[in-house]
Amino acid sequence: MERTLEVLKVFIIQGCLGCKRALELAAWVRGISPKLVVEIIDLALSPNAGRNMVFAVPTYVYDTSAVFIGNPSEVQLMTWLDKINRDD
Q: pLDDT at residue 2 above 80?
A: no
pLDDT: which is higher, 52 or 41: 41
pLDDT: which is higher, 85 or 25: 25
Distance from C-alpha of 62 to C-alpha of 66, rounded to nearest angstrom: 6
Stretch 50-67: mean pLDDT: 91
Determine the pLDDT at residue 4.
Answer: 57
Q: pLDDT at residue 1 above 60?
A: no
- CATH topology assigned to domain 7-76: Glutaredoxin (3.40.30)
